[in-house]
Structure 1
Amino acid sequence: MSKLEAVLWNIAFPGFSQLLLGQYIKGILFVTLEVIINVYSRFNTAIMYSFLGEIEQAEAVINYQWLMFYPCVYMFSMWDGYRSVMPDNEKYSFLPFVFSAYFVTVGLMVSPKVTIFHIHPGPIFLPMLFLIPGLLIGFLIQSILSLKQKK
């Protein structure tokens, strides 16, 4: 399995790359956590309302206390799948995953209050937008640390 394949399977559903790699206990744990958090946060319903443009409905159904667990479980599952297939000499590759988890969680927390150009993205789209700076900062720090290590 390649690094890209490991990440893409876990984007599809956390735990899938672990299951494909034969890491059954971890895979089942990630799948179980995904289902529990998804059900108790009512995440799928909020996604449906958001994609239908009914942001207020999404905010009304979402359970933020449960959903705030999701970014960390999701990103850690991706990192774990990636780590399982990455070369031993690869350093600091965890940073984009970690910063993405932080930023998506912050995006979720501030989503009830944020409006961008008179558009209220809500609890689904704003955290997705916050993924971008999380990745950029993670890759930037990874690059800086990697360059310092080579000197």
Structure 2
Amino acid sequence: MEIGYSKKSNKLEVLLWSIALPGFGQLINEKYIKGILLVSLEILINVMGNFNKVIVLSFNFKIEEAIAETNYMWLMFYPCLYFFSIWDAYKDAGGGKDQSFPYLPLLFSAYFVTTGLMFSPRFTFFGYLMGPIWLPILFLPIGLGIGVIIRRILLKIYSKETI
């Protein structure tokens, strides 16, 4: 390691690369088999779910076309793969070791983003159809928030038990 290269910097690097593409954080952590498997699964799910095309259509506000192009049976795997990859890489870099239940916000994010994806062909927000990209993104902070709340509740329950 370089002089001055801190553990916090490594955790942040791994976290940001994992957000960019599932499996990259594992490769940085030198977990090569896991990293290659996650990158391969990301590519497989991306191709089979038409994810890149759906993203382009959604960003161009062609929501009905995006919905028509989405292979929901494949794309529903993506949120869990994505958030697991982020958590796993961060954990392998030493993140969350001094905390209890640190995984809950990302776990509930995966649940809620998947739920948003399932409802995306018909759910409207202020009269606008959100589609398979924007609705899951809107469900993300809800999942994060509920994960944080549940984590805090569990921390209070378990701290009372130890008194």
TM-score using structure 1 length: 0.95
Alignment of 1:1-150 (within 5 A): 1-2=7-8, 3-84=11-92, 85-150=94-159
The residue type paired with residue 49 of structure 2 is S
Deviations 1:31-89 (CA, angstroms, capped at 9, x unpaired): 00000000000000000000001001101111000000000100100110121122533
Give the gaps of 5 or more residues in structure 2: 1-6
**Percentage of pairs with the same residue:** 53
Once superposed, what is the RMSD of the aligned Cα atoms?
1.2
CA distance in 2, matches of 1:39, 1:47: 12
Structure 1 residue runs of 5 or longer lacking an equivalent are none
Instruction: State the alpha-carbon separation in 2 of the partners of residues 86 and 62 from structure 1.
Output: 34
Asked which structure has the greater CA Rg, the reply is 2
Give the TM-score, by structure 2 length.
0.88
Aligned residues: 151
SS of alignment partner, residue 90 of structure 1:
coil
